[in-house]
């Protein structure tokens, strides 16, 4: 019956994820499912992990978790700003110059205060509350905190609830605060970082202290362009784009605004810069503002609509990144869209191959700005596009709190999932190093260096798994043996499995420390079964272990009558 042996060598798995095509009809370079791996240097490799860099992991005696990151340079020193939470009513800001020591962002204060346990009133001596406090700010004496409700005068303020400690002539701090559901926006001008949100007083951070600027609009989005600071989406005017006086974010002339399609019923949900214009996102439309002089009395700017497909819908500017030869890429409700800086946004049809993935991402809140826990974010890393999908949006698997989709330089999609200890909500570079911050209070607190180490969140194992297509043949085959080519490791095992005719997987263990040289051929794995199709899966779920898989060699015989 058997007349000859055929050897198939599968050594190129560079097409990544394809959940649309049936597993037996995939290109042999693609995968119907994988997790925490990607094609790195012509091999399927388990992704690198995360290591905590911050030694200051508590504020007010509480572990903190972060939501948004921003980097700025103050007097030649690059600082990383962190929008964070610590189990109190409002969110707040932290900053670090070395990614290890993390400090609360304070308003400069003076004098002393007295408080009573059964009172919400704070009495100060030598204080200037009218300058240094605003509603929503966090008032603290040591590790006891309260939220400012109203400021009576320079020496008296009232908290939202009774203070939890008795003090007489104590030192204190005031930290700017925002409701837990509110996102904040960062923009840089005049050697300062300007910070705003809707419903709360904004201001700037000068590298040492936060300074309230009441004239700065309470808006969700901000951006600096042509020496003007622009803001968008206040509670009174959600479709309005306003801008400051030239080079002066403390001055906001009343006539410096343009309403962007205000009667469509949707708010502005993002601002971005495409290299020549401001891109303004509304829920289901996009616009651009171009010009040099933004004087309403003598305008040289134009507002034009950008053509968008009928299914276009977006709710965040944080996924908007310059990627590949096609220009900018962004995540919409129905998948990925591209913008070349011209007059149109187009659907990236090639990414329809992961349609199933985005069918499992919870719908964006239609017409609303996302909460800080439900906003996707993205960054370009060595030419690769990293997209973070938050826990609040992902409905795929509750045991994997958030998902990172990596679109490599060739446009191939890789999916990384994270366990509870290592959830990442936003990305930033500081001094050429990639950082993320943990957004889940139950996970490892602090600031994480990404794409390093071999575990997540200090100790959590990375579960790396890769499944090939179903290799289907026109006639019955006797599947004999399989060899696996892999990179030799100092420790660890690779679990290698096969499935015949899409049945149950049979597991084998490969000792990754065995063999000689760097590229190792495994001992023969006996299949010894007859069927018309075979599929392979490789995985490792052990902390501090990785793997690289180069090729799979299959020996088979075709059975003929």
The structure's pTM equals: 0.94
Q: Which stretches of 261-348 are DSSP H helices? A: none
| Cβ-contact 59, 86 below 8 angstroms | yes
> Residues 287, 289, 293, CA angle at the centre, nearest 5°?
170
Q: How far apart, in Å, do the first and last CA atoms of the chain sit?
A: 6
Q: What tens-digit pLDDT sequence spans the chain (561 residues)? A: 446 899 999 999 999 999 999 999 999 999 999 999 999 778 999 999 999 999 999 999 999 999 999 999 999 999 999 999 999 999 999 999 999 999 999 999 999 999 999 999 999 999 999 999 999 999 999 999 999 999 999 999 999 999 999 999 999 999 999 999 899 999 999 999 999 999 999 999 999 999 999 999 999 999 999 999 999 999 999 999 999 999 999 999 999 999 999 999 999 999 999 999 999 999 999 999 999 989 888 888 999 999 999 989 998 899 999 998 889 999 988 889 999 998 899 999 999 898 877 766 665 667 788 888 888 899 999 999 999 987 665 554 555 567 899 999 999 999 998 877 878 889 999 999 999 998 888 888 899 999 998 998 888 899 999 999 999 999 999 999 999 999 999 999 999 999 999 999 999 999 999 998 899 999 999 999 999 999 999 999 999 999 999 999 999 999 976
Three-state DSSP at 1 gives coil
pLDDT of residue 107: 98
Give pLDDT tens digits for 330-359.
Answer: 998 888 999 999 889 999 999 989 887 776
Q: What is the 3-state secondary structure (H, E, C) of 112-131?
A: EEEECCCCCEEEEECCCHHH
- H or E, element range at 9: strand 2-10
| Cβ-contact 151, 129 below 8 angstroms | yes
The region, left, alpha or beta by phi > 0 then psi within -120 to 50, assigned to residue 431 is left
| Cβ-contact 20, 353 below 8 angstroms | yes
> Residues 376, 179, 85, CA angle at the centre, nearest 5°?
65
Between CA 526 and CA 492 the distance in angstroms is 21
């Amino acid at each position: 019956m058997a007349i000859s042996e055929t050897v198939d060598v599968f050594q190129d798995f560079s097409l990544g994820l394809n959940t649309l095509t049936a597993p037996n009809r995939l290109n042999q370079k693609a995968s119907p499912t994988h997790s925490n791996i990607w094609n790195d240097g012509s091999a399927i490799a388990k992704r690198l992990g995360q290591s905590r860099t911050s030694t200051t992991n508590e504020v007010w005696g509480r572990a903190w978790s972060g939501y948004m990151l921003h980097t700025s340079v103050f007097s030649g020193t690059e600082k990383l700003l962190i929008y964070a939470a610590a189990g109190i009513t409002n969110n707040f800001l932290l900053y670090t110059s070395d990614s290890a020591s993390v400090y609360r962002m304070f308003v400069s204060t003076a004098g002393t205060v007295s408080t009573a346990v059964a009172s919400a009133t704070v009495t100060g001596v030598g204080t200037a509350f009218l300058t240094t406090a605003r509603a929503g700010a966090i008032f603290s004496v040591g590790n006891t905190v309260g939220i400012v409700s109203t400021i009576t005068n320079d020496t008296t303020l009232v908290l939202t609830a009774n203070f939890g400690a008795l003090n007489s002539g104590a030192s204190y701090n005031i930290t700017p605060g925002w409701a837990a559901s509110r996102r904040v926006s960062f923009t840089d001008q005049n050697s300062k970082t300007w910070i705003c949100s809707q419903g709360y007083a904004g201001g700037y951070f000068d590298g040492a202290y936060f300074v309230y600027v009441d004239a700065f609009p309470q808006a969700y989005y901000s951006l600096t362009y042509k020496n003007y600071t622009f803001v968008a989406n206040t509670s009174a005017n959600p479709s309005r784009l306003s801008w400051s006086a030239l080079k002066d974010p403390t001055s906001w002339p009343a006539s410096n605004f343009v309403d962007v399609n205000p009667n469509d019923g949707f708010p502005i949900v993002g601002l971005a810069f495409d290299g020549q214009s401001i891109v303004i996102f509304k829920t289901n439309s996009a616009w651009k503002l171009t010009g040099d002089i933004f004087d309403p009395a003598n305008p040289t700017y134009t507002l034009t609509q950008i053509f968008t497909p009928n299914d276009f819908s977006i709710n965040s500017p944080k996924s908007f990144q310059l990627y590949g030869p096609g220009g900018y890429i962004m995540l919409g409700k129905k998948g990925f869209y591209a913008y070349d800086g011209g007059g149109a946004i187009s659907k990236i049809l090639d990414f329809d191959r992961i349609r199933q993935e985005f069918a499992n991402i919870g719908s964006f809140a239609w017409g609303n700005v996302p909460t800080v826990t439900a906003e996707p974010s993205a960054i370009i890393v060595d030419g690769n596009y990293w997209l973070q999908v938050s826990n609040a949006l992902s409905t795929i698997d509750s045991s994997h709190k958030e998902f990172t989709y990596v679109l490599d330089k060739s446009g191939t999609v890789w999916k990384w999932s994270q366990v509870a200890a290592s959830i990442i909500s936003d990305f930033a570079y500081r001094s050429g190093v990639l950082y993320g911050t943990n957004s889940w209070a139950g996970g490892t607190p602090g600031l994480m260096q990404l794409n390093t180490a071999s575990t997540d969140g200090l100790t959590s194992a990375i579960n790396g798994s890769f499944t090939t297509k179903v290799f289907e043949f026109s006639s019955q085959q006797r599947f004999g043996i399989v060899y696996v080519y892999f990179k030799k490791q100092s420790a660890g095992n690779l679990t290698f499995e096969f499935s015949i005719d899409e049945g149950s997987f049979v597991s084998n263990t490969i000792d990754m420390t065995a063999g000689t040289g760097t590229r190792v051929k495994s001992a023969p794995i006996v299949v010894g079964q007859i069927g018309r199709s075979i599929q392979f899966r490789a995985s490792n779920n052990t902390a501090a272990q990785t793997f690289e898989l180069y090729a799979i060699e299959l020996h088979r015989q075709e059975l003929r009558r």
